[in-house]
Amino acid sequence: MKNLLKVSVIAAIVSASLAGCNQEQQASTNSAANTQATKTLTSKDAEKFLADVEKESVALNLEGARAAWIYANFITEDTAALAAAADQKSTEAGVRFAMEAAKFDSVDVTADQRRKLNILKQSLVMPAPQDSEKSAELAKIGADLGSMYGKGTYTTEAGDKLSLGDMTAKMATSRNYDELLELWQGWRTVSPEMKPLYERQVELGNEGAQGLGYTDLGAMWRSNYDMTPDEFATELDRLWGQVKPLYDDLHCYVRAELGEQYGNDKVPQDQPIPAHLLGNMWAQTWGNIYDVVAPENADPGYDVTKQLAAHNYSEIDMVKGAEKFFTSLGFDPLPETFWTRSLFTKPADRDVICHASAWDLDAKDDIRIKMCIQKTGEEFSVIHHELGHNFYQRAYKNQPVYYQNSANDGFHEAIGDTIALSVTPKYLKEIGLIDTIPDESKDIGLLMKMALDKVAFIPFGLLVDQWRWKVFSGEVTPENYNQEWWKLREKYQGVSAPVDRPADAFDPGAKYHVPGGVPYSRYFLAHIQQFEFHRALCEISGNTDPIHRCSIYNNKDAGKALNTMLEMGSSQPWQQAYKVLTGNEQMDASAILDYFAPLHVWLKEQNKGRQCGF
């Protein structure tokens, strides 16, 4: 669970405090009051304001986390209502905090105060205008868009009514070209009706961002990274430039294999890949088509799922095993309450939200995970990932509430994934799950499987917000929403719509984070950062293996370095936290190239004589 100061909140709820007032008169009065207040506010006023907010936030965070936990573990109409009420209360507080913080924009305050004030302002992902009717309108749009997405279904030509979950499951396993095309098109019938609402949401969100001093909503989002908005955009392009050669060779190889599967008439070898053939509704990860593109003789010789069964691992044993990874690095064991309060298996008597998640309820020691654990090798890695969140949460618990978060919004996911990168054959042998480490000839299959998810995702992680920034700035207008979406997908991913899209299509709306208003750059950053963190920790640990074979298990030096960074939370610019671990203040995607170096050599060999590019 995330800190109140960093959650995605919609400023629309402020309307409750303005209800019954004449709007024009209220706006004029507020403007005059704000101007007068700004003239007289001081650093001392900021200190008092920040102290009051901290006290209120601690209470709100605990109340909200408890309500959300109860709802996720006991799904009823009553628990849903309690969770919604707590969420609304936090939302209203977040709006109030941001508006008050903006009054100190021109006040001479300390660097620490300015950082906290900026965090308050930037905690609003979709800020509302300071107008009661517009605020209420924005709140309703957000709810309506979420409902459209969540309730979306498609009825097939055969008469089967399918949810998104049903369709994504079918797309993961089907190798029938026409069935995949129908499912791909079917889900995109849900989003066109979102478009007019999304247009209005953009208008209102921009107005709200401008009220907080930003040129538009995209500039506000990009201001959350301890650099200017333009610098941040440039940095993402630089990182993508480092990764692109590896991606291009992966794309070339996968396209050729898909051509063999479906025929070059359906997958032309000099064109982008049709988006419905990559095993994922959004073609964002390609791991589901590993069976189609797997190298020959790639079987590593073991199956973690079978090994877990052979060693009689229970669900708790799997979590205990992951905990031992962290204690081997020097971290303290998890508190007893973790074991008594977490959810590890799906109850037989009630509905729960099974999606794996890590929780920090009291910003002290009440940390938990919520999973319906399946005894599989994949879930074993997921548990390591989720505990990575928990140990991060506990590491920064002594920071002020403002700084009880990751250094930037990519760090939390990156830390969890960094830990999962150490779940290598070497680690599995050390803990007794396998008897021998496969020789390096088996690495290509393992690296391919990972690249289909990790490397394939990177351009998608970049382009979602590239599109939104253009929309927010007005560079892309509503009539060009869909055209620009596919232009970016072809440019970055080399993926195209499999059929001509209708004039009224709104394909960006078929991806949850767009109607949900969730920034996406954090996922791009996490995919870059995790490999650099892993490389740095491997170097600190004295590892002499290639980094894709490295595990930092049982290395106290690596654990100490990791904890030093985690304890900082978001108290310093992320560049300072980065330097603590990597020695550099700038991200470096070359770690991905190092990790996948054997695969890249292999891909280049396979691609000889092929026409690559798109």
Q: Could you read off the pLDDT of 432-481 as tens digits, one per residue? A: 999 999 988 889 999 999 999 999 999 999 999 999 999 999 999 999 99
Contacts 24+ apart (CB under 8 A), 183-188: 183/154, 183/156, 183/276, 183/281, 184/275, 184/276, 184/281, 184/498, 185/499, 186/154, 186/156, 186/162, 187/152, 187/154, 187/281, 187/510, 188/505, 188/507, 188/510
Mean per-residue pLDDT of the chain: 91
- The larger pLDDT score, comparing residue 600 to residue 348, is at 600
Residue 356 in any domain: the answer is yes
Looking from the CA of 305 toward its CB, the CA atoms found within 13 Å total 6
List residues with catalytic annotation.
355-356, 385-386, 389, 413, 513, 523
Q: What is the pLDDT of residue 39?
A: 60
Q: Element (H or E) spanning 137, and its range?
A: helix 132-150
Question: pTM for the complete prediction?
Answer: 0.90
Q: CA 74 → CA 2, 80, 165, 346, distances in Å?
A: 20, 9, 21, 11
How many structural domains are present in the chain?
A: 2
Written as six digits, the tokens of 200 are 């209005």
**What is the three-class DSSP state of 100?**
helix
Residue 105 in any domain: the answer is yes
Residue 434 in any domain: the answer is yes
Residue 75 in any domain: the answer is yes
Q: What is the pLDDT of residue 15?
A: 27
Q: What is the pLDDT of residue 3?
A: 53
Measuring CA to CA, which residue among 613, 502, 511 is closest to residue 273?
A: 613
Residue 559 in any domain: the answer is yes
Residue 527 in any domain: the answer is no
Q: Is the Cα torsion angle 15, 21, 27, 33 positive or negative in sign?
A: negative
**What is the three-class DSSP state of 94?**
helix
Listed in sequence order, the residues at least 6 apart from 131 whose beta carbon sits closer than 8 Å to its beta carbon are 18, 23, 27
Strand partners, 163: 153
Residue that is last in its domain, among 136, 170, 201: 136
At 342, is the pLDDT very low, low, confident or very high (cuts 50, 70, 90)?
Answer: very high
Residue that is last in its domain, among 80, 104, 136: 136
Poorest-pLDDT segment among 31-45, 116-130, 576-590: 31-45
Q: How many other CB atoms sit within 10 Å of the CB of residue 478?
A: 13
Residue 51 in any domain: the answer is yes
* Distance separating alpha carbons of residues 604 and 607, to the nearest angstrom: 5
Which tens digit of pLDDT belongs to each residue from 86-103?
887 887 888 899 989 999
Residue that is last in its domain, among 88, 114, 136: 136
* Domain extent at residue 388: 304-439+544-574
Residue 99 in any domain: the answer is yes
Cα Rg of the chain, angstroms: 25
What proportion of the chain, given as a percentage, has pLDDT over 90? 80
Contacts 24+ apart (CB under 8 A), 498-505: 498/181, 498/184, 498/274, 498/275, 498/276, 498/277, 499/181, 499/185, 502/192, 504/192, 504/195, 505/188, 505/191, 505/192
What are the two backbone dihedrals, phi and then psi, of residue 103, each rounded to the nearest 5 degrees? -65, -15
* Distance separating alpha carbons of residues 531 and 243, to the nearest angstrom: 12
